[in-house]
Amino acid sequence: MGKWWKKAFGYQIYIRSFKDSNNDGIGDIRGIIEKLDYLSYLGINLIWICPFFKSPMDDNGYDVSDFYNVSSDYGTMNDIQELIVKAHQKKIKIIIDLILNQTSDEHLWFQESRKSKDNPYRDYYIWAPPRYINGQRVEPTNWASFFGGSCWEYDQQTNEYYMKIFSRKMPDLNWKNPRVRDEIVKMTDYWLSMGIDGFRLDAVAHLGKSDLMDSTYQTQERYKPEWEKYSNLSVVHDYLRELNQKVFSKYDIVTIGEVGGRALVEDALRYVSPKRRELNMVFNFDHNWCNNGWNRKKGEKLKIDVQAMKDIFEKWQTGLQGKGWNAIYWLNHDQPRVASHYGDRDYFHESAKMLAVCMYFMWGTPFIYNGEEIGMTNPEFKSIVDFKDVSIHNQYRINVIENKQDPTDFINYVSYSTRDNARTIMQWSNDEYAGFSNDKPWNMVNDNYRIINVKDEIANKDSILNFYRKIVDIRLHSEYNNVIAYGKYQQLKKEHQQLYFYLRQYRTKKILVICNLTNENVKIDELEYKIINIIISNYERKEIPQEFAPYEAIVLEVE
């Protein structure tokens, strides 16, 4: 208890799409500075800024070519310093992405590494010779890449392959090499000494790789998606403990790992158990991938699988509580918009507000993703040119161009899941380009910016934004702040078909959260608790209703 980040309310900023200060169509650091007042108004006290380092932008900055410099798209080192000072003046802490799994192929280390087998930087990356099967050159293993195709790329210069579990312009670092680890220690320390307050550790589950042996998965694909070959291996924990001991432990910071590759609660505990001295918390993806309905027809609505969703919450809440800390969030820059994914367009406001209650009264440090607080939705993708994400273009090449999938089918399918959903520009107002810039933005503007934008949301006291502000305020500043931060989580009526009930208790204070996850009217039985106060209600109830309306959510103080 006591650590500042246990009482933080986070907000993730996808810098490229957030605010453009110099009208070149690209969001930037000064754009964030301009919007600090807005962030204070929202009430959050922690921001996570997506990568702004020097980069050829193959993967919007997750492909870093120089960890010690800022991309000219985004500004200068002075801008970063000014942002840190100004945010701190407003009591907003800053965390940044720590990208450890890979660099850009344009990074100096890789430029050297690929030159020759005896280059001093050769072992900074993972190289392996080809195999020859029936005289054909074949990759060292049959493992898939997350972005489609093989996780290996052939490099003619030395007739070897390098590993790249993301794009071909993102070679994986070789963490077995102590020199690589030393470089990372140095870089991590550099950013902390600059005054930032911690890190979101990108793709951290993948730092260790299995021995190079083929996957035995029996699937149709040529390259096998056996992510376990390079996810959550025990050696990752050795690397993290080293980093913690050499750097993290010297500062009062927060560290949050992104643990993909199907991490289980047991895996998560290995990262966040305080006695292991690795990370403070992790982001998992279970709720993003729960009954995700990527296969549904165009325009078809997704119904939340109530039981599956509740089981996931239960698993992570009870699995970690008392043993580590948790991070809670609906989406990030790699997931579809929650208003489109789990929200309901026929009950747009009700469902968006309900989802906020459902998530942000649970236990853990919350993170809002920029635009979520105004109910931003997925855009409509009409053709492949509407997509910016390198991984979609890779998959398009493989599925449509090479394997002749119907392009319309392809687009319908990826439209629900694509990372581009979350990356359209932030909708500030109903001015041209949604008030993001005076010039044409790098990415599309969702057509609905005329009705969904910050300016209108501020003006409307019943808006989604004002509801989010209320939640942030209750969580951080009300008499309930301790019970929300530290209270024990307990789910009630686990089998209920429509409602999600959970109780939070800290000392003698108890709050009860009830959310209708469906569009149905639902009668509720007499509660076995005495109601002391209605803390928040998305239908503005003055007393608890006998029947819950569609997507109704209510938070009660009870005894």
Residue ranges that bind ligand GLC, judged by CB under 6 A: 59, 62, 99, 166, 202-203, 258, 333-334
- Which CB sits closer to ligand GLC, 79 or 389? 389
Q: Binders of Ca ion: how many residues, by CB under 5 A?
A: 5
Which residue's Cβ lies closest to ligand GLC? Answer: 62
How many Cβ atoms are within 10 Å of 120's Cβ, its own excluded?
12
Element (H, E) at 354: helix 348-360
Q: How far is the CB of 321 from ligand GLC (least distance, A)?
A: 26
Q: How far is the CB of 99 from ligand GLC (least distance, A)?
A: 6
Among left, alpha and beta (phi > 0; psi -120 to 50; other), residue 135 is left
Decide: residue 156, CB within 10 A, 0-12 exposed, 13-18 middle, 19+ buried.
Answer: exposed
Minimum gap (Å) between residue 148 Cβ and ligand GLC: 13
CB atoms within 10 A of CB 2: 5
Of 22 and 245, nearer to Ca ion (C-beta) is: 22
Q: Which of ligand GLC, Ca ion, none interacts with 62 (beta carbon under 5 to 8 A by kind)?
A: ligand GLC
Burial group, residue 263, by CB count within 10 angstroms (0-12, 13-18, 19+): buried
306-331 burial by CB neighbour count: b if 16+ within 10 A, else e? Answer: beebbebbbebbbbbbeebbbbbbbb
The option from Ca ion, ligand GLC, none interacting with 535 (CB < 5 to 8 A, set by class) reads: none
Decide whether 225 or 407 has the Cβ nearer to ligand GLC.
Answer: 225
Listed residue (305, 303, 151, 311) closest to 215, CA to CA: 151
- Show which residues are catalytic: 202, 258
Cα 443 → chain centroid: 19
Contact 433, 440 (CB under 8 A): yes
Which pair of structure tokens corresponds to residue 439? 């010039």
Please say which residue, 17 or 65, places its beta carbon nearer to Ca ion: 17
In the complex with ligand GLC, which residue's Cβ is closer, 41 or 289?
289
The residue (of 419 and 510) whose beta carbon lies closer to ligand GLC is: 419
Cβ at position 91, least distance to ligand GLC in Å: 27
Sheet with 152-155: strands ordered across = 127-128, 160-163, 152-155
Binding site partner of 80, from ligand GLC, Ca ion, none, Cβ cut-off 5-8 A by kind: none
Taken as a whole, the chain contains a residue count of 559
- Contacted by 166, from Ca ion, ligand GLC, none: CB < 5 to 8 Å by type: ligand GLC
d(CA 44, CA 67): 28
Structure tokens at 287: 């709720």
> Min. distance of Cβ 52 from ligand GLC in angstroms?
14
Name the token pair of 440: 């044409």
Phi first, then psi, for residue 382 (nearest 5°) are -100, -35
Q: Which does 363 bind (CB under 5 to 8 A by kind): Ca ion, ligand GLC, none?
A: none
Q: Write down the least CB distance from residue 323 to ligand GLC, Å.
A: 25
Q: Any bridge partners for residue 547, and if so which?
A: 523
Q: Write down the least CB distance from residue 19 to Ca ion, Å.
A: 8
Check if the beta carbon of residue 112 is closer than 8 Å to that of residue 120.
Answer: yes
- What is the rounded distance in angstroms from the CA atom of residue 367 to the CA atom of residue 475? 13
25 or 171, CB closer to ligand GLC? 171
| Least gap, CB of 261 to ligand GLC (angstroms) | 10
- In the complex, least distance from residue 51 CB atom to ligand GLC, rounded to whole angstroms: 8
With a CB cutoff of 8 Å and minimum separation 6, the contacts of 430 are: 449, 450, 451, 453, 455, 456
Dist. CA 76–CA 70, nearest whole Å? 6
Q: How far is CA 143 from the centre of its chain?
A: 25
Which of Ca ion, ligand GLC, none binds 24 (CB below 5-8 Å, type-dependent)?
Ca ion
334 binds, among ligand GLC, Ca ion, none (CB under 5 to 8 A by kind): ligand GLC
CB nearer Ca ion, residue 20 or residue 557: 20
Q: x/- contact string, 159-198, with Ca ion (CB under 5 A)?
A: ----------------------------------------
**Window 1 to 60, contacts with Ca ion (CB under 5 A):** 20, 22, 24, 26, 28
Residue 373, contacted partner among Ca ion, ligand GLC, none, CB below 5-8 A by kind: none
Choose from Ca ion, ligand GLC, none: what does 28 bind? Cβ within 5-8 Å by kind: Ca ion
Tokens of 374: 């105004």
Cβ proximity to Ca ion: between 86 and 186 the closer is: 86
22 binds, among Ca ion, ligand GLC, none (CB under 5 to 8 A by kind): Ca ion
Q: Is 79 in the site for Ca ion (CB under 5 A)?
A: no
Sequence-distant (≥ 6) Cβ neighbours of residue 27 within 8 angstroms = 14, 15, 16, 17, 18, 19, 20, 74, 425, 426, 436
CB of residue 22 to Ca ion, shortest distance in Å: 5
Q: Which is nearer to ligand GLC, 332 or 498 (CB)?
A: 332
C-alpha to C-alpha distance for 411 and 298, rounded to whole angstroms:
10
Instruction: Give the DSSP letter string of 523-543.
Output: E-PPPSS-EEEEEEETT--SS
Residues interacting with Ca ion, by CB under 5 A? Answer: 20, 22, 24, 26, 28
